[in-house]
Amino acid sequence: MQKTSFSIESALSNLNISELNPMQQASLEADKTASNLVLLADTGSGKTLSFLLPIAQKLHRQSTHTQAMIIAPSRELALQIEQVFKKMGTGFKITCCYGGHLRETEENNLKQAPALVVGTPGRLADHIRRGNINTANIETLVLDEFDKSLEQGFEEEMSFIIGSLPALKKRILTSATEAVEIPTFVGLQDPVEINFLTGEKAAMLEVQYLKSGDRDKSETLFNLICALGNRSTIIFCNQREFVENVSAFLKDKGITNVFYHGAMEQRDRDSALCKFRNGSSNVLVTTDLAARGLDIPNIRYIIHYQLPDTQETYTHRNGRTARMEASGTAILILAPQEYLPAYITPAPKEITLPETVELPQKPVWTTFFIAAGKKDKVNKVDIVGFLTNKGKLKKEDIGLIEVKDFFSFVAIRKSKASTTLHLVQNEKIKNKKVKIDVAK
């Protein structure tokens, strides 16, 4: 069977990457001879590309079957992998499957078998049971962030999926955590391990801590955000209820923010992350769900509002900032009865806040929700044309656009939002009238 004429150079060019890093080069080299590969590398080091490139090299252009599968612990990570693969411009079809996404849509996407399927364990197992994914020709399996999948209790689904892959020849496991026991159902025999874990904080990461005078640290948090100014900030909490409480408190104090956790509906999760990415909100309050897999560049501050449970959690949270040569700062807030965890070395610097603080400037962007997406044949060019023609906007008044299957989000300069919304209310996109409103 004819193989693809896939070019790594072309894929890197499409991704605006000049060259592979040492970890990615080592992975490509090891992949040539190893049947089983365990890749250990820090969060943000480029592991996704280290397994997508060798997969793309092996895919057969003329095959009408699914040839590779990637299992990810969260829908956000699965979507990010799909995005990277599409940007590579391989010409191969990829389908992403995850809970919270319409199963019917995925079933339609799977009718013409994709070369590569990526998804969360529960949804992939469901499709296999229903016969929507033909596993007979899948030769390569990637378990991305496999330790996280095990933490979240996906063993049963993962065992079922792996047991449903009769033609499996290659297994690639990735993790940012060392010394995780690999279950026997994975079938990993004599794996080659590539270990690029440094165990060190990012070179551009500064760690600080702040003492709170009260057991309830919310006022300290508010004052800290005011002192930091209008910069991109993620606030980590340990439980979902704290996330919503902290978000509501900050909102009442005049801090524009969005919150994000695993119990939210998919559209609400998409909306929150989009607002944070496009600058409609510079503050994201979240659980450790956001510590991995989210592709959000230029995050300046990480605030550990509640102290991380483990060193691994601490490392993954901090991995959201100081990426790609950018600097970043992680700040731990300590209540009177709390102490810095012993694993934080060297000792971070203590900071104090000014006696008086001012509210940060409000974001200059707001986000519109448009009830049309890829399945309605609507793309970014359509949305820009619609907003410039019907909404009378200049291109500089339109920010980041994200098009999902059935809806889209677009950043609009806040000063123009009200007028634009009025102008477009009764207009049509692609000859179809759709709901357009400020995203909730």
In the chain, where are the structural domains located? 8-195, 205-351, 365-438
Q: How do 432-433 and 428-429 pair as beta strands?
A: antiparallel
> What is the helix, strand, coil percentage profile of the chain, to 5?
35, 20, 45
Split at pLDDT 50, 70, 90, the class of 1 is: very low
> What is the rounded CA–CA span in Å between residue 418 and residue 438?
9
pLDDT at 298 over 80: no
Q: Which fold has domain 365-438?
A: Alpha-Beta Plaits (3.30.70)
Are the C-beta atoms of 376 and 430 separated by less than 8 Å? yes
Residue-wise pLDDT for 165-197, tens only, equals 999 999 999 988 876 788 899 999 889 999 988
3 state SS of 171: strand
φ, ψ for residue 163, nearest 5 deg: -70, -15
Q: What is the pLDDT of residue 382?
A: 94
* In the predicted structure, residue 66 carries a pLDDT above the cut 60: yes
pLDDT at 4 over 50: no
pLDDT over 60 at 307, yes or no: yes
- Tokens 């391989």, located at residue: 90
* Fold equal for 8-195 and 205-351: yes
Burial readout 262-285 (b: 16 or more C-beta within 10 A, e: otherwise): eebeebbbbbbbbbbbbbbbbbbb
Largest interatomic CA distance in the chain? 71
Task: Cite the DSSP H helix spans in 186-239.
Answer: 218-228
Binned at pLDDT 50, 70 and 90, residue 5 comes out as low
pLDDT single digits (tens) 107-159: 999 999 999 999 999 999 999 999 999 999 999 999 998 888 877 778 889 99
The CATH code of domain 8-195 reads 3.40.50.300
**What angle in degrees, to the nearest 10, is found between the helix axes of 75-88 and 47-58?**
50
Q: What whole-number distance in Å separates Cα of residue 396 and Cα of residue 431? A: 25
Per-residue tokens: 260: 């994000």
Q: What is the DSSP string of 281-308?
A: -SEEEE-GGGGSS-------EEEESS--
From the list 360, 353, 358, 419, the residue with the least C-alpha distance to 391 is 419
Q: Residue 324 pLDDT more than 90?
A: no
Residue 22 makes CB contacts below 8 A (sequence gap 6+) with 196
Question: Is 50:142 a contact under the CB 8 Å cutoff?
Answer: no
**Which pLDDT score is estimated for 416?**
94
Nearest to 382 by CA among 334, 391, 83: 391
| Claim: this prediction has a pTM higher than 0.95 | no
pLDDT single digits (tens) 373-408:
999 999 999 999 999 999 999 989 999 999 999 999
What single-letter amino acid sits at 77? L
Mean pLDDT of 334-338: 94
Give the CATH H-level superfamily of domain 205-351. Answer: P-loop containing nucleotide triphosphate hydrolases (3.40.50.300)
**Up-side HSE of residue 188: CA atoms within 13 Å toward CB?**
21
Mean pLDDT across the chain, nearest whole number? Answer: 90
Structure tokens at 101: 């996404």
